[in-house]
């Protein structure tokens, strides 16, 4: 039985077949034969993700933008980014075509996953852009995948809170840290 962790990611060995039988809640990911059970998100985490989705939706109305969708990555890993933006909609439960952008809003319990493990996995999988939103440090790092390594496109903080970021042929979006992290 899954126990929902209060403030840490819980890791349990589990086969894919066992994982498929889990309920939709609590939020989970499946990595290297382990299920990662995520603690409930704090209100400011959920608000930042929602504001980022609204910002992207206004700038890119023809793209598919959502939250916590499943993303298959190399080496049999299933991740659930906080925000994902792709060129086309899919009926797949777990997206197999890499999105244009994934974003994670950091929280104390998932900071290591989101800043150490996931960037490598997303780059290896071919995700084009990875944005890391840090409510504690009040930063947004917009990273671009260049030949499997992340390069910084923009770093937003309270001193430089605004940047325009171009997403391929889809145009640009003005990202304002103050809007995302109100």
pLDDT tens readout for residues 16-70: 888 888 877 777 878 888 888 877 777 888 999 999 999 999 999 999 998 867 8
Query: In the chain, what are the domains?
Result: 1-40 (no CATH), 41-180 (3.90.1570.10)
pLDDT tens readout for residues 90-130: 777 788 889 999 999 999 888 988 999 999 999 999 999 99
Rounded distance, CA 182 to CA 60, Å? 22
H or E stretch at 162: strand 162-166
Span between the terminal Cα atoms of the chain, in Å = 37
H or E stretch at 59: helix 43-59
Smallest CA-to-CA distance from 164 within 156, 175, 155, 153 is with 175
Smallest CA-to-CA distance from 141 within 125, 127, 128, 157 is with 157
Rounded distance, CA 109 to CA 137, Å? 15
Concatenating the DSSP letter of every residue in 57-86 gives HHH-TTSEEESS-EEEETTTEEE--SEEEE
pTM of the model: 0.88
Smallest CA-to-CA distance from 39 within 122, 111, 145 is with 111
């Amino acid at each position: 039985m899954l126990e929902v962790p209060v403030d840490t990611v819980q890791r349990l060995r589990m086969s894919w077949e066992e994982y498929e039988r889990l309920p939709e809640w609590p939020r989970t990911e499946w990595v290297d034969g382990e299920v990662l059970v995520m603690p409930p998100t704090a209100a400011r985490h959920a608000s930042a993700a929602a504001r980022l989705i609204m910002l992207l939706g206004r700038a890119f109305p023809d793209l598919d933008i959502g939250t916590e969708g499943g993303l298959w990555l190399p080496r049999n890993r299933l991740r659930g980014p906080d925000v994902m933006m792709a060129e086309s909609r899919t009926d797949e439960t777990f997206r197999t075509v890499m999105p244009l952008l994934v974003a994670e809003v950091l929280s104390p319990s998932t900071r290591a996953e989101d800043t150490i493990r996931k960037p490598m996995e997303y780059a290896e999988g071919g995700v084009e852009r990875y944005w890391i939103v840090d409510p504690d440090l009040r930063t947004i790092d917009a990273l671009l995948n260049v030949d499997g390594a992340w390069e910084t496109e923009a770093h937003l903080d309270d001193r430089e809170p605004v940047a325009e970021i171009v997403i391929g042929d889809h145009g640009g979006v003005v990202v304002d840290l103050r809007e995302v992290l109100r």
